[in-house]
Amino acid sequence: MSVAININHALKKYGENVIIPDLNLKIKDGEFFTLLGPSGCGKTTLLRMIAGFNTIEGGEFYFDENIINELDPSKRNIGMVFQNYAIFPHLTVRANVEFGLNNRAFNKKDIGPMADKFLKLMQIFEYRDRMPENLSGGQQQRVALARALVIAPDVLLMDEPLSNLDAKLRLEMRQAIRDIQKEVGITTVYVTHDQEEAMAISDRIAVMELGEIQQIGTPQSIYHRPVNEFVASFIGRTNFVTADCDKNELNVLGHKVTVKDLDYKGKVKVSIRPEEFMLTDDNKAIKAIIKDTIFLGLNTHFYMELPNKQKVEIIKESMIDDENHTGKTVYLTINVDKVNVYTEDGAKNLVIAHEN
Ligand SMILES: Nc1ncnc2c1ncn2[C@@H]1O[C@H](COP(=O)(O)OP(=O)(O)O)[C@@H](O)[C@H]1O
Ligand SMILES: [Mg+2]
């Protein structure tokens, strides 16, 4: 049985230091939910409050309608997976997976088949009699996941489980984790500082900074409509260009464009993703000089300088006849459907304000 998690006005302090001032969060039953943010923003702290390994200085934590603030960690029925595999080095793979079952009141004859099921699901059945030291990092992490899931927890908590793996394994394991989570259907809270990983794996993401949630949404909504400058720059890559706004018209370095659902007067910061700049023949558009070109296979990245000396990054699909364009002058326009326009201080998205 998995549960919904409801957090009302959570407060975390270490001594006098307030780490999480006032956090509210609703995680749905069966959801793959990710806490994403830079190192030190409080992701692990919050996860440990859910697990019961941290004291809670204020607010209420619920699993469904049951308050868990005072519940012992062992009674929360949680499966956990950490960055450093935390599997027992002196136990075989099978004994590691069975470990949690032996401590619970299961019928002895059921334990073997239950372990088998998760050994197979995690594709480590063939390694069941090996010692952990004879497994790769990815295989060890599969053991940790099988051990966490075999106890049929209500909630699965994972703290940067892929950080110690190399790039290729990380991609493979993140797919494996997502597949297993969907198959088992367990409410999952996943912590990472890697925005690409978060986007690939999550149903919804909470972007955190300094103990506060900046935005909660699907990967798509967070990428396309970041609520503020912090989220826009933390999720994906973007260019910020200052502009003058008059109702729904933006004047970007002399180039005028109209943006839907915008109504503001004054200086603004426009966020333009590298893929949302378009080349044009119109010499009244934004003039740019190509300063550097980096070929990355599928795409080529162009680093350009605008008339105000600002540098921007532009990504285009690579062409077979791409030559060295460095030094060339080009003209740019912007995909107005996908730009985001922020107040000059970056605190508020002026486009999103008109949605919903
Ligand atoms: N046991 C502790 N005692 C005091 N401060 C801590 C402790 N654990 C974490 N912190 C502080 O709390 C903040 C959040 O840390 P953490 O939750 O580990 O961040 P994250 O997991 O997002 O990298 C940091 O400033 C960190 O220094
Ligand atoms: Mg952490």
Look at residue 355 in the predicted model and tell me its pLDDT: 47
Give the number of the ligand closest to the Cα of residue 45.
1
Q: Distance, CA 226 to ligand 2 centroid (Å)?
A: 23
pLDDT values of the chain reduced to their tens digit, one per residue, 356 residues = 899 999 999 999 999 999 999 999 999 999 999 999 999 999 999 999 999 999 999 999 999 999 999 999 999 999 999 887 689 999 999 999 999 888 777 788 889 999 999 999 999 999 999 999 999 988 999 999 999 999 999 999 999 999 988 899 899 999 999 999 999 999 999 999 999 999 999 999 999 999 999 999 999 999 999 999 999 999 999 999 999 999 999 999 999 999 999 999 999 999 999 999 999 999 999 999 999 999 999 999 999 999 999 999 999 999 887 677 889 999 999 999 999 999 999 999 999 654 44
Q: Distance, CA 350 to ligand 1 centroid (Å)?
A: 33
Give me the numbers of helices (H) and strands (E) for the chain, helices first please.
8, 20
* Residue 276 to residue 296: CA distance in whole angstroms: 18
CA atoms within 13 A on the CB side of 34: 27
Give the number of the ligand closest to the Cα of residue 35.
1
| Domain topology for 5-229 | Rossmann fold (3.40.50)
Give the number of the ligand closest to the Cα of residue 37.
1
Look at residue 276 in the predicted model and tell me its pLDDT: 97
- The finding on whether 15 has its CB within 6 A of some atom of ligand 1 is no
Q: Distance, CA 37 to ligand 2 centroid (Å)?
A: 9
The angle, 0 to 180 degrees and rounded to 10, between the axes of the packed helices 108-121 and 137-150 is 140
> What percentage of residues in the chain have a pLDDT greater than 90?
87
Q: Which two tokens stand for residue 99?
A: 């470990």
- The finding on whether 55 has its CB within 6 A of some atom of ligand 1 is no
| Residue 73 neighbours by CB under 8 Å, 6+ apart | 51, 52, 53
Query: Do 340 and 314 form a contact (C-beta atoms < 8 A)?
Result: no
In 3-state terms the chain splits into helix, strand, coil percentages (rounded to 5) of 30, 35, 35
Residue 310 Cα distances to 253, 286, 299, 303, 304, angstroms: 11, 12, 22, 10, 8
For the chain, give every domain's residue range: 5-229, 241-354
Q: Distance, CA 50 to ligand 1 centroid (Å)?
A: 15
Concatenated DSSP letters of 135-197: S-HHHHHHHHHHHHHHT--SEEEEESTTTTS-HHHHHHHHHHHHHHHHHHT-EEEEEES-HHH
Find the angle CA(175)-CA(177)-CA(183) to the nearest 5 degrees: 100
Report the nearest-CA residue for atom 16 of ligand 1: 42
Look at residue 356 in the predicted model and tell me its pLDDT: 42
Look at residue 353 in the predicted model and tell me its pLDDT: 55
* Residue 60 to residue 329: CA distance in whole angstroms: 58
The angle, 0 to 180 degrees and rounded to 10, between the axes of the packed helices 167-184 and 137-150 is 20
Look at residue 254 in the predicted model and tell me its pLDDT: 94
Q: Distance, CA 92 to ligand 2 centroid (Å)?
A: 28
End-to-end CA distance of the chain: give it in Å, rounded.
Answer: 34
Give the number of the ligand closest to the Cα of residue 161.
2
- The finding on whether 14 has its CB within 6 A of some atom of ligand 1 is yes
User: Ramachandran region of residue 86, left (φ > 0), alpha (ψ -120 to 50) or beta?
Assistant: left
- DSSP state, 104? T
Query: Do 192 and 23 form a contact (C-beta atoms < 8 A)?
Result: no
- The finding on whether 54 has its CB within 6 A of some atom of ligand 1 is no
Which of these, 232, 254, 216, 257, lies nearest to 349 by C-alpha position? 232
| Residue 355 neighbours by CB under 8 Å, 6+ apart | 225, 261
Q: Distance, CA 25 to ligand 1 centroid (Å)?
A: 19
- The finding on whether 41 has its CB within 6 A of some atom of ligand 1 is yes
Task: Count other Cβ atoms within 10 Å, centred on residue 167.
Answer: 7
- CATH architecture of the domain formed by 241-354: Beta Barrel (2.40)
Look at residue 84 in the predicted model and tell me its pLDDT: 78
Give the tens place of pLDDT for each residue, 122-145.
999 999 999 999 999 889 999 999
- DSSP state, 354? G
